Structure 1
Amino acid sequence: MPKIVVGVSGSLGCLAALHRAAAEARLRRAELWAVLAWETPGGELGGRYSAHVSAVAQCRATAGDRLREALDTAFGPVRPEIPVQGVTVWGSPGAALVDVAQDPDDLLVVGTGARGPLRRLVHRSVARYCQTHAVCPVLAVPPSPLLATYDTTHRRNLWHMPLDPREVV
């Protein structure tokens, strides 16, 4: 059975990717795999050489909670009419998604996220990594326009700037 693999980060931006992946899974009669990648604090070295095995177990449990919360936020208590598999993977997001979507018949769905100049310097693009390394087709889903409006409103509230209701509409 072909699968639709979608990256989940727990952010608001991943909701558009989850909904698009669910729609693709319905159309293709495929299974939906929601994948959340997690890393220990300190990256690979922090997890490999850590004497605190309980810290790694705690990170794994937190990742599972974030995945369940993201699926509940996206779909509510009623899951879509398709099989949904939640998977947490230890590793960087791009590599984890490419590893799960190994079959050429799979479809990998990733959110593009907001990519301002500062963010590009600090964080690598998961979508670009997947497009470069995946053996299956990759569908890059842009964030919802409502997310940009939300971010603008949130920023204005943080800086205590007056908000004109006509700008929100």
Structure 2
Amino acid sequence: MSEEYHVVVGVDGSLGSEQALRWALWHAELVGDSVVVAVRGWDYPELYDRPVAGPEAVAHRTAAALDETIARLVPGNCSVPVRREVVYGHPAKALLDVVRRVHADLLVVGSRGSGGFATALLGSVAQYCVRHAHCPVLVARGEPDGSSAPSGAES
């Protein structure tokens, strides 16, 4: 029996991360015998002296948001299992921790996430992951129509 192919994908609720999830599912289905691990890292914004809500409440809301995104974007007939992980810490470091732990074969991130600098060409999480990941990194560019297969990849 062959070992599962692991695709880790960062999902932060942004349009870019939704496209990254679509790319991850599309790629995993092509490869076969794959599992997608959807990861959402969370941390308190630096502008607060103390948390507005307790860590359990923030983790619960973060998990609920990730579950909602997965439920909305993963088709019911999807042949690829999707696991979810909510990880405390900076999103880029959280992603790379999961990549190492599951021995990921591919990391997929959006070109820009939900950070405050929407005009950046490549988001800081994507940049960090490209520089530090120990597996290939696919930086998904958003499709205007939100199609599930990347442009030109339909079969």
Q: Same fold, TM exceeding 0.5?
A: yes
TM-score normalized with structure 2 length? 0.76
Q: Secondary structure at the match of 1:143?
A: coil
Unaligned runs of 5+ residues in structure 1 are: 148-169
Partner of 1:130: 129
TM-score normalized with structure 1 length? 0.70
Give the distance between the partners of 1:8 and 1:59, measured in 2 at CA. Answer: 16
Partner of 1:96: 94
Q: Secondary structure at the match of 1:73?
A: helix
Which amino acid is the alignment partner of residue 71 of structure 2? D
Please point out which of 4, 8, 12 is paired with 1:5.
8
Structural mapping, 1:138-153, within 5 Å? 138-146=137-145
Q: Secondary structure at the match of 2:44?
A: coil
Please point out which of 66, 78, 81 is paired with 1:80.
78
Q: Secondary structure at the match of 1:145?
A: coil
Give the distance between the partners of 1:105 and 1:70, measured in 2 at CA. Answer: 22
Q: Secondary structure at the match of 2:54?
A: helix
- Same amino acid, percent of matched pairs: 34
Runs of 4+ off more than 2 Å: 40-47, 118-121
RMSD over aligned Cα, in angstroms? Answer: 2.7
How many Å apart are 1:40 and its aligned residue?
2.6
How many Å apart are 1:143 and its aligned residue?
1.4
Q: Retained in 1: the 8 A contact 2:130–2:137?
A: yes
Which amino acid is the alignment partner of residue 36 of structure 1? R
Give the distance between the partners of 1:8 and 1:128, measured in 2 at CA. Answer: 16
Partner of 1:26: 29
Between 1 and 2, higher relative CO (CA 8 Å, sep ≥ 6) is seen in 2
Measured at CA, do residues 82 and 43 of structure 1 come closer, stay the same or move farther in structure 2, by a change above 3 Å? farther
Higher helix share: 1
Q: Retained in 1: the 8 A contact 2:36–2:80?
A: yes
